[in-house]
Structure 1
Amino acid sequence: MYTRLISLIILGIGLTRASNPTVKLGKTTLIGLDMPGVHGEFFGGIPFAKPPIGELRFEPPVLETTLQGGILNASEFGVPCIQIPSASGMSEDCLTVNVFRPQGLTSKSRLPVMVWIYGGGFIAGSASIYNGSLIVQQSITRGTPIIFVNLNYRLGTLGFPTGSEAQSKGALNLGLKDQLTALEWVHTNIGAFGGDNSRVTIFGESAGAISIADLFLNSKLERFVRAAILESGSPATTSLFTSESGTSLWQTFARAVPACASANLNNTFGCLKSASVADIISATSTASKSSTQDFAFVPVIDGEGGMIPVLPSVLQSRGLVSRIPFIAGTNLDEGTLFTDQTVNSSAGVENGLLETQMPSTFPLPILQSAVARILDLYPDDPSLGSPFSTGNETFGLSSQYKRAAAINGDMNFQALRRAWIQSATSHGVGVYGYLFTDPQPNSGALGVSHSKEIVYVFGVQALTGDPAVALLSVQMMDYWISFAVSLNPNDGKGSKRPFWSPYTSTNQEIIQLNSANLTMIPDNYRKEQISFINSEPLLFHH
């Protein structure tokens, strides 16, 4: 979940047409690209579902495990899904996967698999931004080779319709269903690439991590996955509402589509399926701007039998979630990127908090009382605000900005990560936690903000001229790969790095990922504040 995608400038590393590796899927031969610079091979743009166009627009994905035709040119990434802002080459026909693998594999190789799900606030993002070649290269170097896969899923109104009509037509949470369908495709086909479908780890950041957490709730994720890594995202990081609460938003969207100008606003799917992509994009933008939420078209509670039947905290308390081992972590200053830098009063902070909790099933006085308590717990003291550890510096902004950023980061990220991880350990799930705190040069009022760890995980920072930062990037790759291979980040292979202790009910510690101080720390920062937030999960739509 973020407004600016981080483009990994490694797309061209090692790609060449000097050799054309092939993989056979049924009767179809996939022709990929050799990547000698990283000892790897690439296969891209492989469909995993029927194109969700025409009558399949706003419909659940239809799995396709076999391909049409004798040959598929798999030498390029699949195109991005329709999104805002526009992405080059985007199309509705976008449900594809991409595979990076070491050279020389056969169907008998049976390597562990890491599947990446991108973020972007459920309104933007693309698998093509994330090149897994350096992760694959590091896995080879350390002697534990893996296969990297990423995927596209539908976004915005095409991926996350909302409202009563969408509920009645079974059209909620389509983007999550796309992801699950892609995982089923991987389970069925990754063996042909040399992968082991019993050793699949999914990982993602922001909306990608939120998606993974949502898949824990009622999708029987363990059918396709044995482990997960969640970077800056938990269930309800985007506040969860019922689909009915989005009816007005959906009607605003439909009203802005010319093809639906005379339609009954309670029966819009017919006209919307015939609308042009350009009109869908324009209307999505119009509706998003009308919403009080930062992210308008996101996963919703879809009721009994759905992907998210009730609030996650209810399922967690009952142990009714997939019991898959996972790593979950956050960055030091998660809230800064999502905080209005013009906020300059306590009333402004209060109103912002109230807006994001509406509509609420609780009487307004109860919500106001809870918000008042939060304001008490987060005083207007810049030395306590976010970006943290910056003293009284306000970066030319009101001190209320740092106050609001601290609250936003804790409510939407830190508190949820702590609740999620503690609930899992109480039910015997193997869990590891982290806090990424590596200083970001010239970051100003953003600090160690949301998404900054991505370039470390993907090895881009390993190419930096700063030896300490480069080492941290390699260490983080080694932790992630080790966990995917062995369900333990401490396999002793690759870079020398501190022991990462598992998070348990009696040992509530997380690792601090910092190039100057990589070490275990107690998970008790802002204990009183976060404990209060977590004491009211239903009130805060958690």
Structure 2
Amino acid sequence: MFWTYGGGFQEGTSATFNASAIVAQSVVRGTPIVYVNFNYRLGPLGFPQGQEAANKKALNLALHDQIAALTWVQENIGAFGGDKTKVTVFGESAGAIMTAVQLLTPSFSRFARAAIFESGSAATALTFHAQHRQIDWNNFVAGVPGCAGLSETENTFGCLQSVNTTAIFDGLIIAQNEAPEEFPWSPTIDGEGGFMPELPSLLFAKGTFAKIPFISGTNLDEGTLFIPPATDYTAEVIMNGIIANFSPPAVPFVSMGQLENAVTHLLDLYPDIPALGSPFNTGNDTFGLSPGYKRISALFGDVSFQSQRRLWIQTASNAGVKTFSYLFTQPQPTNPAFLGVSHGSEIAFVYGAPPNATASAIALSTTMIDYWVSFATSLDPNDGKGSSRPTWEQYTPNNQVLIQLNGDNTTIIPDNYRKEGIDFMNSMPLTFHHRRSL
């Protein structure tokens, strides 16, 4: 089992890659498991932007690091008791996004036979050509002592390779403070032969992706963590915010007029009724916040996570891929009430350390571990080993279901929540699945 984990594309700036990785072994339910973690470059070192990086074919270096690590696994994992033919790649949030981008390359199946995606799909990241973020690269170089004079040239790489880590961090801090968007360092459209030759939704439509089994799931309230709670979210603020997040549109496919019309209809599908907003299942309680907070949280969570998970798994299952899906709904009493079951809430459960050790939480954690390990070892979460747990039905074109992961009610449910709104988003993925700013 091969593990990749992500908590943000720009949070780290490791300047080197440790190809030896970190390997741990354990026996779970009588089955030997080998876990591999590794270093990969993040921030401007992992995702350099701008014309120079494009000219040097130095885009998406973090993804190259992942391939280097997976190559190492194929060549060496046998020495650690692992089986190179039974590799599962596994990531959460940015880790899931990066791993999903890897699957846009059909030949990725030579590195792994399965994948697990927790709260992230290939189109969740902000997708641009590298030249769009030239300003971010210029700001970064301008903040690096000794390289500032080269910031607006196409001759920066040599200088950056000569400075120390402290200088790199100085540049990163300045670049982040001046960035016109929150996440400038993320996967980039890199053209023919690259990891992301064009927008992921176009590749999905062509069937251009690795056909390996996977689990893909989301949490109940994916949007709340990303919405500042102090803002007054009027309908005008929400509409302007959505349009700003998708401007410029994904030209030449979507015009500004099409975007504006689509957003107007989207707001009709997500009315200003707190009982319909996120955190879900909390009635008309607005937690002392703007009533529009729940509305925009629902919208953001569905655009960025829920609709993309549904489109991805439906596309893959329609292509004959063996897939399983989940919705994590376990209450999170350690969260502020306005966050609900927020992005990242499932992580502690997968690792056997739920934040509140109630009987319900401990039972769910055990169940999730058994599902995950069962899938990694047998390509099916229902191997009959470990804890007694409900059968997790496969997601197919004729059985579009997911498992609700809840310590008091783990059960199969139809994948039809907020169907009208999510169907509208998925009917025009070029409009709603490729955010342009944040």
TM-score where L is the length of structure 1:
0.75
Alpha-carbon offset, residue 146 of structure 1? 1.3
User: In the alignment, is the contact (CA less than 8 A) between 1:331 and 1:435 conserved in 2?
Assistant: yes
> What residue in structure 2 maps to residue 457 of structure 1?
350
Tell me what 1:375 maps to: 267
Q: Distance in 2 between matches of 1:83 and 1:330?
A: 19
Matched AA of 2:303 = M
Superposed, 1:104-123 pairs within 5 Å as: none
1:250 aligns with 2:174: no
After superposition, where does 1:142-161 map in structure 2 within 5 Å? 142-161=29-48
What aligned pairs does 1:9-408 form with structure 2 within 5 A after superposition?
92-96=15-19, 97-102=21-26, 136=27, 139=28, 142-218=29-105, 220-263=107-150, 265-267=152-154, 268-344=156-232, 345-360=234-249, 361=251, 362-408=254-300
Aligned equivalents of 2:239 and 2:179: distance in 1? 18
Q: Distance in 2 between matches of 1:219 and 1:521?
A: 31
User: Quick one: distance in 2 between partners of 1:430 and 1:335?
Assistant: 28
The structural deviation recorded for 1:82 is 12
Q: In structure 2, the residue corresponding to 1:511 is in which secondary structure?
A: strand
SS at match of 2:64: helix
Preserved contact between residue 293 and residue 356 of structure 1 (Cα < 8 Å): no
Instruction: State whether structure 2 residue 328 is matched by structure 1 residue 440.
Output: no
Paired with 2:379 and 2:409, the residues of 1 have a C-alpha distance of 24
Structure 2 partner of 1:62: none
Q: CA deviation digits over 1:366-408, x for unaligned, max 9?
A: 2222222221111111111111111111111101111111111
Cα pair 1:245 1:359 within 8 Å, conserved: no
3-state SS of paired residue (2:115):
strand
Quote the residue 1:128 is aligned against: none
Does the residue aligned with 1:490 lie in a helix, a strand or coil? coil
State the AA in 2 paired with 1:302. Answer: D
Judged with a 3 Å threshold, the aligned counterparts in structure 2 of structure 1 residues 287 and 510 are, in CA distance, closer, same or farther, namely: same
**By how many angstroms is 1:196 displaced?**
0.5
Secondary structure in structure 2 of the residue aligned to 1:238: coil
State percent identity of aligned pairs.
51
Which whole-Å CA distance do the structure 2 matches of 1:403 and 1:446 have between them? 13
Superposition deviation, residue 442 in structure 1:
4.0
Corresponding residue number in structure 1 for 2:409 = 517
Indicate if the aligned counterparts of 1:335 and 1:410 stay in contact, CA closer than 8 A: yes
CA contact (8 A) 1:335 1:408 kept: yes
CA–CA distance in 2 between the matches of 1:157 and 1:359? 23
Name the CA distance, whole Å, in 1 between partners of 2:14 and 2:131.
29
What is the alpha-carbon distance in structure 2 between the residues aligned to residue 442 and residue 531 of structure 1? 33
Which residue matches 1:527?
Answer: 419
Going from structure 1 to structure 2, the CA distance change for 1:288 and 1:535 (only over 3 Å counts) comes to farther
Deviates more, 1:356-365 or 1:329-338: 356-365
| Conserved? CA contact 2:370–2:381, under 8 Å | yes
Output the CA distance in 2 between the equivalents of 1:394 and 1:309.
Answer: 43
Which of 335-344 and 495-504 deviates more? 335-344
Moved more, 273-282 or 428-437: 273-282
CA contact (8 A) 2:147 2:160 kept: yes
CA offset at residue 316 of structure 1? 1.2
**Candidates 295, 299, 319, aligned match of 1:427:** 319
Paired amino acid for 1:323: K
1:476 is aligned, of 365, 368, 390, to 368
* Distance (whole Å) between structure 2 residues aligned to residue 286 and residue 294 of structure 1: 13
**CA distance 1:529–1:291, shift in 2 (3 Å):** farther
C-alpha contact 2:90 2:115 (8 A) present in aligned 1: yes
Structure 2 residue runs without a partner (length 5+): 1-5
When residues 163 and 348 of structure 1 are mapped into structure 2, their CA distance, relative to the original with a 3 A threshold, is same
Partner of 2:432, secondary structure, is coil
Is the 8 Å Cα contact of residues 83 and 281 (structure 1) preserved in structure 2?
A: no
Provide the C-alpha distance between the structure 2 equivalents of 1:314 and 1:84, rounded to a whole number of angstroms.
26
Letter of the 1:357 partner, please give it: F
2:286 partner SS: coil
Output the amino acid matched with 1:459: G
Aligned to 1:35: none
CA contact (8 A) 1:95 1:154 kept: no
**Aligned counterparts of 1:512 and 1:83: Cα–Cα separation in 2:** 29
Residue by residue, what CA displacement relative to the aligned partner does 1:107-128 show, whole Å, maximum 9, x if unpaired?
xxxxxxxxxxxxxxxxxxxxxx
**Partners in 1 of 2:11 and 2:132 — Cα distance?**
25
Q: Stretches of 4+ moved more than 4 A in 1?
A: 80-86
Q: Distance in 2 between matches of 1:91 and 1:250?
A: 17
Gap change, CA 1:521 and 1:83, over 3 Å in 2: closer
Greater shift in the superposed pair: 270-279 or 173-182 = 270-279
Which is worse superposed, 415-424 or 440-449?
A: 440-449
The CA deviation at 1:349 is 1.6
The one-letter code sitting in structure 2 at the alignment partner of 1:410 is D
Alignment check: 8 A CA contact 2:350 2:368 kept: yes
Quick one: higher RCO (CA 8 Å, sep 6+), 1 or 2? 2
SS of 1:191's equivalent in the other structure is helix
Structure 2 residue identity aligned to 1:100: A
CA RMSD of aligned residues (A): 2.1
- Supply the distance in 2 between the matched residues of 1:424 and 1:538 (Cα, whole angstroms): 18
SS of match in other structure, 1:222: helix
Q: Which amino acid aligns with 1:452?
A: S
Question: What is the DSSP-based 3-state SS (H/G/I as helix, E as strand, rest coil) of the residue aligned with 1:234?
Answer: coil
Q: State the one-letter code of the partner of 2:213.
A: P
Counterparts of 1:85 and 1:509, CA distance in 2: 35
Q: Distance in 2 between matches of 1:249 and 1:501?
A: 45
TM-aligned CA deviation for residue 506 of structure 1: 0.5
- 1:495 aligns to what SS in structure 2? coil
Cα offset, 1:91, TM superposition: 5.1
